[in-house]
Structure 1
Amino acid sequence: MAAHFSLILVLVTLATGLIWLLDVRVLKPKRMAKLEAAKAQGEVSEEAALKLTQEPSIVETSRSIFPVIAFVLVLRSFLWEPFQIPSGSMMPTLLVGDFILVEKFSYGVKDPVFRHKFIKTGEPERGDIAVFKYPVDTRIDYIKRIVGLPGDTIRYRNKQLWIKPACSDGENCPDFQLITRAEVNRDEFFQGPYPLTRYTEQLGDIEHDILVNTHRPDPVSMYYQVDGIPRGDFVVPQGYYFGIGDNRDNSTDSRFWGFISDDNLVGKAVAIWISFEFARDEQDWLPTWVPTGVRFERVGGLT
């Protein structure tokens, strides 16, 4: 749907801009020439002059909406785009009902239709919260935390995340490093009847919270299989990244479907601009999609 909207936005911008340009360069001069010709033949009333110079309704509409549509196109395609969080895979960092701003130029400037990168502005860093096109179906936008960079080896076993950074020096390369974490609580979030353990995790310079279901075994048999290495280990290819949800046992991410191509990156999530709470059930007289409250305390930057 997002891709269709981008295409529609581009087409409407082009159409209204071309109509306005055609009027400025061709149609308006013709109307003014008719007015001058009428004046040469005699006095022309104000009403007749207005009728001769009046622009067609399609031109008037195009002239009115083109600047607005063009501004929205530039803002949404190259600067910032709003997204809604539809699931709990990034809890506790992002909750269902959060509306976030994604910085589109963080990982390069791309055209809004074919998504070809024509200006390089930066690359994902470890710990970034990135929005990208779901590799299995690029019509869908996904959001995960980047934990693996090109050349890294990622290991996820027994609810623990290990990272072996990319290294070109075969003799002095570091071994796997356990990502440290500290328990926060066990009774704030639940998955069914099971309480989720909340940890604060240190991922490079980024400190953030994650959720782990200690009652659920890791579904290792479902992990993405990389030839030649054990399940649960992932060697990130060049030009790709490894993303994982903060809600570790309720997230379909790179552990299951593989790596995120640089071509599929949309941008970096930088802020929550509004957050709605949805607590209605089907018996309420209002639809369930109508918010029950606003979580103003969640508005702000992301880590």
Structure 2
Amino acid sequence: MKPYLTYIRAIVIAILAVLIVRTLFVTSCFIPSSGMENTLYRGEGVLVGKWSYGWRVPLQSVFGYHRLLPDDVRQGEIVLFNNPMPADTSISVDCRELYISRCIGTPGDTLMLNSELIAEGTDVFSPDTKALYSYPAESEEVMDCVLSSLGITENQLAGYTPEGNYIRSFSYYEHYLVTQRMDGRFSLTPLYPENSCKAYPFVVPKKGVPVSIYPWNAALIVNMIAFHEKKNAYIKGDTVFVEGKPRKEYTFSQNYYWMASNDPVNINDSRLFGFVPETHVIGKALRIWYPSRKGRFMKKIQ
């Protein structure tokens, strides 16, 4: 065989090998913004495992959505996914731009969020933000029992008010759980009410499990039904209609996830585009192959 043919064959084999690996096993993306700092920095190249959650069959516009050996996205993992709400909805899911964020809500979880979702220009809201609350000192024994029953074991007293009331710090979700469990026996009073933000429970949709519709989640639910479930859904008055019928709950056909940036100021995450359907999930971010600074080459992403 002539030498140049040997070189050509080697090049073709190398190209085919790269294409097979990228198609079946690992893909790569670059971090476009500062939203995931200090975990991932702008400009870094990241390796993503396509089998992390099962291999998603390409060409969804032709073959539909299929995933071989599917597995669940776990809370806290950094995930690569396609844009759930592109400007051009005619583009096939697997051809849309890529986003990378941390999963903080898995199917069936309850998140405490504000009701202003999927709207540009809304105030920044972090569901994990903690606030200080006071309650009567004589209710401390009841509080200890409530916290113990909920498994909130690391919530220590933060101080005392001049009136002698006790002070503790709760996240929005912890406040919701504690309030429900106390059932009106005593109230938690915000220490700084001017800084408090009204939060509501949002259930992350799980395939086959009905999600109740309330005034605070109606707009988000309708958007998801219309955009991802591909059904005619709208709000008329205070009622949600799906395919012309009033609904107080809806059962979704697939699992969804809530994705969040590390940077609470960067709202290019689920606060902007809502829950991410499993059809849009590509894989888990594994390692940094193109670092932005010294000592980060092939660092494991956590």
Give the structure-1-normalised TM-score. 0.49
Structure exhibiting the larger radius of gyration computed from Cα positions: 1
Give the structure-2-normalised TM-score. 0.49
- The higher-RCO structure (CA 8 Å, 6+ apart) is 2
